[in-house]
Structure 1
Amino acid sequence: MSGPSVHLTIPPASLFKFPPAPLPETLPPPQRDYSFATPFNINPTVYNGLLSASVPLTFATIYATSVVLLNQINRRRGNQPWEFSKTRLFHLFVVAHNVLLAVYSAWTLTGMLGALSRSWPGFDAEGGPAEVADALCKLNGPRGFGSAATYNSTTSAWGVTDRLVKLGTGGIPDSSDVGRLWNEGLSFYGWLFYLSKFYEVVDTAIILAKGKRSSSLQTYHHAGAMMCMWAGIRYMAPPIWLFVVANSFIHTLMYTYFTLTALHVKVPWVIKRTLTTMQIAQFVIGASFAATHLFVSYNAPVSVPYSFIAGVSSAASSATSAVGSAATSVASATATANLNSWFKKLALRAVGEEGLAENVRNSQGERFGADAVKAPVNHAKEEIRYRTEYPVVSCIDTSGQSFAIWLNLMYLAPLTWLFVRFFIRSYTGMTSRRGRRPSTIHIIEKSGLDAARGVQRELDSLLKEAETSVAEKVIERGEEAASSAEAAVEAKRE
C-alpha cells in the first residue's frame, strides 16, 4: 500500500466533453455575519442566475460589437474627443473610476490572501506535497488531508471518503465547512471578481469618449476575461483562485497608476513598462499553472470499511474456561453431596419431576452432578471497522472544471505564444548586436520588456485588421439596408 505522493498522469477521456455536464450546480457562498471581509451576503438565486452562460456571452458580444462600431465612428470624426469628455465632471468620473477599481482590487486581494492562508496546509504538512495538492485541487469540504467533498460524475452525486465527514442537507457539501478555498472566500470574492469584469469595460468607454481608438488587444482582453472568470466560478475550477489573486494584484497597481496619471502626477515611464511586463508574465504563469491541473494526480487517504467478527476468540476462551470450571464443580459437588441429596434427586426424577430434581442442592447449597454443568453462550457478532488506504485521486473531477481550464488556455494561448516568440527574438538580437553573451539578468529584463511591447503591437495589428474588416462589412450592410428601405419607400410612393 503506497503512501501519499504526487504523480503526473494522462487525464481521463471523460473530462473532455463539450458542452460540459451542467452538474454539479455552483455552490453559493456561506451566509456570514457582516464584517469588512464580507460586508454583505449574496442571495443564492441571484448568485446562480448571474452565472448563466447567456449573461457573459450576451455582454461580451454587445461589448465587442460596440467597440468595433465606435472605433469606426471615431475614425470618421478624425479621432476628436467628444465634448462631454472635456468637462470637469467627466474628469472627476475618471478619477473616481480608477480609485474605485484600485481599492476594490486591493480588498479582493486581501480577502483572497486570507482565504489562502486559512486553507494552506504548509509544505511541512504530514502528507507532504500530496497534502498541498489536495488543498489546492479539492475546493469543497472541511480542512484535512482526504476530508474533501468531491462530485462523482458517474453517480451524479457528491461524496466523501472520510467516514468522519458528513454532507449537508440535500446531499451537498455543508456550507459551514471551513478550511478549504471555496467556503473560505473563493466563492464570494471570485463571483464578485467575475462581475467586476463587466464593469471594467468602462475603461474602454473612457478611451472612446476621448476620441481615441480602443485597441483590439484591450477588447480581446476584456471579453476573454469575463468569459474565463465565468467558467472558473460556474464550474468551481481549482486553478481559478490564481487568476483572482494575480489579476487583483496587478489591477491594484495598475489602477493606482491610472489614478495618479489622471491627477496629472508624473510617474516614471519604467513603472508603466514594468506593469505591462507583469501583465504578460501573469498570462504565461497562469496558463502553465492551469494546464498542470489536468495532469496532476496524487495519493489521498481514504477510509475503507471491512468486516470484523468480534467476540469469537473471547467466546471460545469463555467456553473452555466454563467447561473446566464446571468439571471442577462436578467433582467438588460429588464429593460433598450427602446421600440424602442424591436419593432426593433420584426420587424426583423417578416420578417425572425433572425441574424440581435440577434444583436440589447439596449441604453447601450448591447444585451437583450433571446439573452443575452449563454450556457457555457464544456472544460473537460482526462489526464494521475501517482502515486507511491511499488510492490515486485525480486533481480534476468534472468535465466542467476541465472546460474552464481549456477555455483559459485558449484565451491565453495567443498572448503566451507571442510572448515566447518575442522573448527569443529579443535574446538573439541582443547577442548579435553586442557580439558577446549578455548577463542572464539583463537578458530576462530586456527581453521581457521587449516582448511585452511586441506582443501588444503584433496582436493589436492582427486584431485591428479583423476589426476594420468586420466594421466595414457591418457599415456596408447597414448602408445597403438603408438604400433598400429608401428604394422601397420610393417605389411605394410611385
Structure 2
Amino acid sequence: MFSNIFFSIRLSDIFEFPPSFEPVTLHPPSGSTPFHIPPEIYTSALDLKVPVTIATLYLISVFFLNKYNTSHQNQPWSISKYKLFDISVIIHNVLLILFSGWTFLGMWGTIQRSVSSPRSNDGLVGTVDSLCKIHGLRGLGRSFIYNSTISQWTPQTPSLYLDESGILDLASPGRMWNEGLAFYGWLFYLSKFYEVIDTLIIIVKGKKSGVLQTFHHAGAMFCMWSGIRFMSPPIWMFVFVNSAIHSLMYTYYSINALKLPVSQYLKKLLTILQITQLAVGILYAANHSFISYLFLTEIPIIETIIDDSVSATTPPLSSTTATPKNLAQVIKKLLIFSLGASDVVKTETTQPKYIENVTYKTLTNYVTCLDTSGQNFAIWLNVLYLIPLIGLFLRFFSKSYRTKNTKSRSVGEIEIVKNLPVEKESNETNENKI
C-alpha cells in the first residue's frame, strides 16, 4: 500500500493568493451535536472581519497598557489586591480546563468514528483518505470533494450519488467534519478570543505582555479562523492536540493561582510538550500540500435489455355464423363500417419484459489530498505562524531553564529564588501556551 501514496509538488492550482473563498463553510448537521448552533451565527462568526477586528483591538490595547504599566513602574493594579480578583483568576483557569478537556474528549470520539485504521481492508491508503477528505461517507472512495472548476460538491467516485437527481447529502455522517470537527473546531476557534483574558491578568498584575504572549494570542485567532473557515483537513490535529495541552497548562495555572508548590521539572516538561506539538504540527500540516494517492474502485454499469422469451401475441378472431339471431348485429357492423368506423376486434399486445444486466468496470483513482486553494492557504498561514513561535518558545526555554541550570547559586541565591512572588512565576509561564 505504501507504493500507492506519493509526494508531488503542485504549484498551479492550490498555491494561489489570495485564496478562493469557495465553498461556504458547512455548519454542523442538525441533531448531531451536543447543542444546536444556528447556521447564521455559525457563518457570521467565520467572517474575516471578526478575527481582524478583535486581533487589532487586542494589539492596540496591549501596546497602550504595556506603556501604562511601564510609566507606573510595573506596579500591580489596585484591583489585583482584592480576594475577588484571585477567585476570578481561578474560575477563569478552571473554565478553560473543563472546556479544553471536553473538546479533547469530543475530538477523540470524532477521530474514532471517522479515521480508518491502517489495519482495515483499505490499508494505509484508507487512513490517508480519511484524514485528507473530511466530507462525505465513511470508506475509501466515498468522500465528497469540492470541484472549484464547476463550483459545486461532487462525489469522489462517479457512482456515489445518494438519489436519482445526483444531489449529495452534505449532512451525511461518516467523515471527520460532520462527525464533530465542524462543531468542536468552531468552538475552539471562538475560545481564542476568550483566552486574551490571560494577557489581561498579566497586565493587571503590573507586568508587561511580552512578544511571545502577544504574538501567540493574536496569531492563534487567524490560524484557527483559517482552518475552520476553509475546512482545511489538518486543523483537526490543532484542535485535538492543543486542547490536550491546554488542559495540562491551565491545570498548572490553577495550581499556581492557589499558591501550591509545583515541581520545576513539571514546568520544564510542559514547555517541552509545547515546543514538540508546534514542531510536529508544522510537519504534519505541510505534508498535506504534497500528498496524493491511488486506489481502485469498481463502478456498476447497468444495461437494460428486452427479454426475447416474451413476444407480442394476438388472440385469434372467433368465427361468427350469420343466423337469424345475430343477423341484426351483422347488418349493424356493415353500416358502421360503411360510415368509416371500425368494429373489428383489436389485437392485444403484451408489453415486452425488460431485464437489467449489471457489469462492473474497475477505475484507477488518482486523488490529491487538498481540493481548494483555501485549504492550502490555511495550512501555510499556520506554518508561517508556528515557525517564529517555536523560536520564541526556544528563547523562553533557554532563559527560563538552561540559564538557571548552568548557574552556580549560593544558598542565599536559592533563598531569593524561593521567595520570588508566585504571580511573577505564573506570569512568565503563562506565556507558555498556544
Question: How far apart are 1:390 and its partner, in Å?
Answer: 2.3
Deviations 1:351-384 (A, max 9, x none): xxxxxxxxxxxxxxxxxxxxxxxxxxx9999968
Between structure 1 and structure 2, the one with the greater Rg is 1
**Normalising by the residue count of structure 1, what TM-score does the alignment of the two structures yield?**
0.67
Q: Please point out which of 123, 126, 150 is paired with 1:131.
A: 126
What is the aligned partner in structure 2 of residue 24 from structure 1? 23
State the secondary structure of the residue aligned to 2:289.
Answer: helix
State the secondary structure of the residue aligned to 2:65.
Answer: helix
Percent sequence identity over matched residues? 47
Question: How far apart are 1:162 and its partner, in Å?
Answer: 5.5
Residues 263 and 157 (structure 1 numbering): CA distance in 2 closer, same or farther, change over 3 Å?
same
State the secondary structure of the residue aligned to 1:205.
Answer: helix
Which 10-residue stretch deviates more, 189-198 or 154-163? Answer: 154-163
**Pairs aligned (count):** 362
State the secondary structure of the residue aligned to 1:126.
Answer: coil
Question: How far apart are 1:209 and its partner, in Å?
Answer: 0.5
Letter aligned with residue 178 of structure 1:
P
State the secondary structure of the residue aligned to 2:137.
Answer: coil
Q: Please point out which of 372, 385, 388 is paired with 2:362.
A: 388
Residues 190 and 260 (structure 1 numbering): CA distance in 2 closer, same or farther, change over 3 Å?
same
The answer to whether the 8 A contact 2:216-2:389 is kept is: no
1:97-116 matches, cutoff 5 A: 97-116=92-111
The yes-or-no answer on 1:86 pairing with 2:60 is no
The answer to whether the 8 A contact 2:295-2:364 is kept is: yes
Residues 242 and 3 (structure 1 numbering): CA distance in 2 closer, same or farther, change over 3 Å?
closer
The answer to whether the 8 A contact 1:98-1:255 is kept is: yes
The answer to whether the 8 A contact 2:212-2:393 is kept is: no
Residues 379 and 84 (structure 1 numbering): CA distance in 2 closer, same or farther, change over 3 Å?
closer
**CA distance in 2 between partners of 1:155 and 1:58 (Å):** 33
The answer to whether the 8 A contact 1:168-1:174 is kept is: no
Q: Please point out which of 406, 422, 427 is paired with 2:380.
A: 406
State the secondary structure of the residue aligned to 1:13.
Answer: coil
**CA distance in 1 between partners of 2:168 and 2:63 (Å):** 44
1:35-434 matches, cutoff 5 A: 38-160=33-155, 161=157, 163-166=159-162, 171=167, 173-175=169-171, 177-302=172-297, 304=299, 385-416=359-390
Let me know the Cα RMSD of the aligned residues. 3.3
Letter aligned with residue 226 of structure 2:
A
Deviations 1:234-253 (A, max 9, x none): 00000000000111010000
Question: How far apart are 1:266 and its partner, in Å?
Answer: 0.8
Letter aligned with residue 401 of structure 1:
Q
Question: How far apart are 1:226 and its partner, in Å?
Answer: 0.9
Divergent runs of 4+, >6 A: 167-170, 378-384, 418-424
The answer to whether the 8 A contact 2:161-2:168 is kept is: no
Residues 128 and 251 (structure 1 numbering): CA distance in 2 closer, same or farther, change over 3 Å?
same
Question: How far apart are 1:300 and its partner, in Å?
Answer: 3.3
What is the aligned partner in structure 2 of residue 7 from structure 1? 6
State the secondary structure of the residue aligned to 1:299.
Answer: strand
Residues 246 and 92 (structure 1 numbering): CA distance in 2 closer, same or farther, change over 3 Å?
same
**CA distance in 1 between partners of 2:146 and 2:367 (Å):** 12
State the secondary structure of the residue aligned to 1:230.
Answer: helix
Residues 131 and 418 (structure 1 numbering): CA distance in 2 closer, same or farther, change over 3 Å?
same
Residues 228 and 39 (structure 1 numbering): CA distance in 2 closer, same or farther, change over 3 Å?
same
State the secondary structure of the residue aligned to 1:14.
Answer: coil
The answer to whether the 8 A contact 1:235-1:401 is kept is: yes
Question: How far apart are 1:11 and its partner, in Å?
Answer: 2.0
Question: How far apart are 1:301 and its partner, in Å?
Answer: 3.9
Residues 148 and 418 (structure 1 numbering): CA distance in 2 closer, same or farther, change over 3 Å?
same
Instruction: Give the unaligned 5+ runs of structure 1.
Output: 323-377, 425-455, 461-494
Question: How far apart are 1:402 and its partner, in Å?
Answer: 0.5
**CA distance in 2 between partners of 1:3 and 1:270 (Å):** 40
Letter aligned with residue 71 of structure 2:
R
Residues 417 and 71 (structure 1 numbering): CA distance in 2 closer, same or farther, change over 3 Å?
closer
Letter aligned with residue 89 of structure 1:
L
Question: How far apart are 1:388 and its partner, in Å?
Answer: 3.1
Question: How far apart are 1:126 and its partner, in Å?
Answer: 1.3
Letter aligned with residue 215 of structure 1:
G
1:454-473 matches, cutoff 5 A: none
Residues 59 and 421 (structure 1 numbering): CA distance in 2 closer, same or farther, change over 3 Å?
closer
Question: How far apart are 1:187 and its partner, in Å?
Answer: 0.2
State the secondary structure of the residue aligned to 1:31.
Answer: coil
The answer to whether the 8 A contact 1:99-1:256 is kept is: yes
**CA distance in 1 between partners of 2:272 and 2:61 (Å):** 28
The answer to whether the 8 A contact 1:294-1:396 is kept is: yes
**CA distance in 2 between partners of 1:146 and 1:73 (Å):** 59
Letter aligned with residue 129 of structure 1:
L
Residues 168 and 24 (structure 1 numbering): CA distance in 2 closer, same or farther, change over 3 Å?
farther
**CA distance in 1 between partners of 2:253 and 2:166 (Å):** 48
Residues 42 and 301 (structure 1 numbering): CA distance in 2 closer, same or farther, change over 3 Å?
farther
The answer to whether the 8 A contact 2:16-2:373 is kept is: yes
State the secondary structure of the residue aligned to 1:151.
Answer: strand
Residues 380 and 263 (structure 1 numbering): CA distance in 2 closer, same or farther, change over 3 Å?
closer
**Normalising by the residue count of structure 2, what TM-score does the alignment of the two structures yield?**
0.76
Residues 199 and 170 (structure 1 numbering): CA distance in 2 closer, same or farther, change over 3 Å?
farther
Question: How far apart are 1:165 and its partner, in Å?
Answer: 4.1
**CA distance in 1 between partners of 2:50 and 2:145 (Å):** 27
